[in-house]
A = this chain, B = another copy of it.
C-alpha cells in the first residue's frame, strides 16, 4: 500500500525536521511542524509558545502553564491538567490532518497517534552526539549550557513525554518502520530513502 502519511520523530539536532521538509517538498505534499503548533494553539486556546514548549515535553503541571491557559472559559479543561488537555487536542488535530490527505508530520508523538493507519510510514531520525552538538550551535547559537547538556535535557524531556502518553520507550526501533542515523548516512541519503519508500 502506498504510504501517504509520513511521521518523523527525531532527536533534537539530528536534522529530522530538515529531512521532513525536504521529503514533503520532493513529494509535493504538505509539511506540518510549526503549522501544527499554530493549529493546536487555535483549537486549544493555549498560546503557541506554550504548545511549542509543552507539546513534546514533560507532562508535569507547572504554575506557569496556567498563565498560558485558555482565558475566560472556566472549566474548559474538564478537570484535566493543562498538559493532558493539550495532548487530547494534539491527538485530534493530528488525526484530522492525516484524514485530510498525504502529508509529512514532524514530532509530537504522531507515530503513536497514527500507529493504526496502514497508509502511514513512521520514521525515526537520530545522530551521533558530536554531530548534533555542532549542528545546534551552528543553527541555534551558543548558550550558557554546553551543547551536550542542552541535548541531554531535550532528549530527557522528549523521552518522558513519550513514555507518559504512549507507554512506549522513546527511540526503540520496534516503534518505527525505519530508523536512520543521519550523521552516518547523510541528510540527503535519508531524504532519498524516505521519498523512495513513500513512492513505492
Contacts and interface: CB of A to CB of B under 8 A. Distances in A.
The complex is assembled from copies of this chain, and their number is 2
Nearest to A184: B177
A181 B124 CA distance: 12
Contacts of A124: 173, 179
A12 B184 CA distance: 26
A173 to B, nearest CB: 4
Residue of A126, A177, A179, A181 most packed against chain B (CB within 10 A): A179
- Give the size range of A's interface with the partner: 10 to 19
A110 interface: no
Interface in A149-163: none
A18 interface: no
A176 interface: yes
A143 interface: no
Residue of A173, A177, A180, A184 most packed against chain B (CB within 10 A): A173
Interface of A: 121, 124, 126, 171-174, 176-181, 184-185, 189, 193, 197, 200
